[in-house]
């Protein structure tokens, strides 16, 4: 297996030298490139799942809104480490060797790796989908950058999520959370849930994992102890979310998501973020750096303030649950089937 993973990475790296990154994104309204400059950036994505894919799509849209358009004045090198820290390091090192103008790190582990390499090579880094930049040591306690790095946080609206769960499940007492012990963003979010849960009459039951191989047994253990599960933006867990959803469905236990893509594939509901909007916000920050309008070190990290409710009526039907009218009245996205 080690040989095949390495081979896949080398092949992908070779392809990246010949092609530009993502394609097929909808064409946004853009400003015409006016300064005649061209740019090359590296986008390193830590794992393959819907929310991070949406971040990447939004990032390119945000750049395009500022007149930096892939295929016109922008070359994109894109790689995905498939949740492998070693491959993430190789990807970023490869970007640096090609002297990119900027690196975008999508998700905490990739952002940390990008900064470690970028600061040695004097390459600015813009990150997105980093839940807690301070805990990840990418920002100071006051939100200022630790160096030439900034970006956007996907900090979860924990209290709004707890209120939503209480509204949908008035009799529930325990909420389960699975998280990766090596992801600092997950550790801080689990603690935030524990600190707030009592205000809504809940107890948090958590279980830590190290790799995706741990997920099946951890899910079996967790589901024996809880009335429902709430999912974080933990990359390793999200990559295995279908396994958790399948096991929970067999026990008729609701699973709540943290963003729209998780609800689309089988979570009951979420009070979460729009990751395309988050990506756009990140792209606009990157454009300011590329154009020389601001240094990354001059911009505090940013957070999307408003959470949006989305639900899945098919999942609700399968569980015998009715989503309350007050939540339905404010729904941003409503799914009537489970995407496979």
DSSP string, 100-152: -SEEEEESHHHHHHHHHHHHHHT--EEEES-S-TTTTTSB-TTS-BSSSEEEE
User: Which residue shows structure tokens 């900027």?
Assistant: 102
Q: With 60 as the cut, is the pLDDT of residue 107 above it? A: yes
pLDDT (tens digit per residue) in 9-27? 344 444 343 333 333 334 4
Average pLDDT over residues 153-178: 96
- Dist. CA 109–CA 32, nearest whole Å: 34
Pick the most confident of 12-21, 214-223, 266-275, 330-339. Answer: 214-223
- Residue 304: the pLDDT is 79
Identify which of 129, 117, 125, 118 has the alpha carbon closest to the alpha carbon of residue 149.
125
Average pLDDT over residues 302-331: 93
- Residue 35: the pLDDT is 64
**2-154+275-303 and 158-272+308-335 in the same fold:** yes
End-to-end CA distance of the chain: 27
Q: With 90 as the cut, is the pLDDT of residue 3 above it? A: no
- Residue 183: the pLDDT is 86
Q: Please tell me the least confidently modeled range out of 120-134, 142-156, 193-207, 303-317.
A: 303-317
pLDDT (tens digit per residue) in 115-150? 999 999 999 999 999 989 999 999 999 999 999 999
- Dist. CA 166–CA 150, nearest whole Å: 35
- Residue 335: the pLDDT is 96
- Residue 256: the pLDDT is 98
- Dist. CA 278–CA 331, nearest whole Å: 19
Q: With 50 as the cut, is the pLDDT of residue 88 above it? A: yes
pTM of the entire predicted model: 0.76
Q: How many CB atoms lie within 10 A of CB 286?
A: 30
For 211-234, give the DSSP string: SGGGHHHHHHHHHTT-SEEE----
List Cβ neighbours of 242 (8 Å cut-off, separation of 6 or more): 265, 266
- Dist. CA 252–CA 246, nearest whole Å: 10
Helix runs in the chain, H state only = 2-18, 50-65, 85-97, 108-121, 158-168, 184-197, 215-223, 235-239, 241-250, 260-264, 275-290, 313-319, 325-328
Q: With 50 as the cut, is the pLDDT of residue 243 above it? A: yes
- Residue 72: the pLDDT is 97
Token digits for 196?
Answer: 């707030």
Token digits for 201?
Answer: 């009459």
For residue 278, give Cα distances in angstroms to 13, 98, 281.
27, 27, 5
For residue 334, give Cα distances in angstroms to 58, 254, 263, 307, 311.
21, 17, 9, 15, 5
Q: What confidence tier does 305 reach under pLDDT thresholds 50, 70, 90?
A: low
CATH superfamily of 2-154+275-303: Response regulator (3.40.50.2300)
Q: How many CB atoms lie within 10 A of CB 210?
A: 11
- Could you state, in order of their start, the residue ranges of all structural domains in the chain? 2-154+275-303, 158-272+308-335
Pairing verdict, β 102-106 and 255-256 = unpaired
- Residue 18: the pLDDT is 36
pLDDT (tens digit per residue) in 204-237? 999 999 999 999 999 999 999 999 999 998 889 9
- Residue 36: the pLDDT is 84
Q: Please tell me the least confidently modeled range out of 84-93, 113-122, 270-279.
A: 270-279
- Dist. CA 114–CA 235, nearest whole Å: 17
For the segment(s) 158-272+308-335, the CATH number from 3.60.140.10, 2.40.100.20, 3.30.450.40, 3.40.50.2300 is 3.40.50.2300
Token digits for 94?
Answer: 């490869």
Supply the mean pLDDT for the chain. Answer: 90
Q: With 70 as the cut, is the pLDDT of residue 179 above it? A: yes
Per the CB < 8 A criterion, the answer to whether 269 and 323 are in contact is: yes
| C-alpha angle 263-314-222 in degrees, rounded to nearest 5 | 55
**Rg, Å, the chain Cα set:** 20
């Amino acid at each position: 297996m080690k040989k095949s993973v390495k081979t896949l990475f080398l092949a992908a790296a070779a392809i990246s030298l010949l092609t530009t990154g993502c394609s097929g994104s909808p064409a946004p309204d853009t400003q015409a490139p006016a300064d005649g400059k061209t740019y090359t950036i590296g986008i390193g994505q830590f794992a393959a799942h819907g929310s991070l894919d949406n971040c990447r799509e939004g990032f390119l849209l945000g750049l395009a809104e500022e007149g930096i358009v892939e295929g016109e004045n922008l070359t994109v090198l894109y790689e995905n480490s498939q949740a492998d820290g070693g491959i993430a390091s190789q990807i970023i090192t490869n970007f640096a060797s090609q002297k990119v103008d900027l690196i975008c790190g999508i998700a905490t582990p990739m952002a940390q790796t990008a900064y470690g390499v970028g600061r040695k090579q004097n390459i600015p880094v813009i990150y997105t989908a980093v839940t807690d930049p301070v805990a990840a040591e990418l920002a100071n306690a006051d939100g200022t950058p630790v160096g030439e790095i900034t970006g956007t946080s996907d900090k979860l609206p924990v209290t709004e999520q707890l209120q939503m769960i209480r509204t949908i499940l008035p009799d529930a007492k325990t909420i389960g959370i699975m998280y990766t012990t090596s992801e600092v963003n997950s550790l801080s979010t689990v603690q935030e849930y524990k600190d707030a849960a009592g205000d809504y009459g809940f107890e948090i039951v958590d279980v830590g994992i190290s790799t995706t191989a741990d997920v099946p047994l951890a899910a079996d253990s967790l589901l024996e102890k809880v009335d429902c599960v709430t999912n974080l933006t933990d990359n390793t867990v999200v990559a295995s979310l279908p396994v958790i959803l399948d096991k929970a469905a067999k026990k008729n236990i609701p699973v709540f998501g943290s963003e729209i893509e998780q609800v689309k594939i089988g979570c009951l509901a979420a009070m979460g973020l729009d990751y395309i909007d988050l990506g756009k916000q990140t792209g606009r920050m990157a454009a300011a750096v590329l154009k020389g309008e601001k240094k990354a070190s001059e911009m505090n990290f940013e957070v999307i303030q408003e959470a949006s409710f989305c639900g899945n009526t098919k999942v609700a039907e399968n569980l015998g649950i009715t989503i309350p009218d007050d939540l339905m009245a404010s729904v941003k996205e409503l799914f009537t089937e489970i995407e496979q």
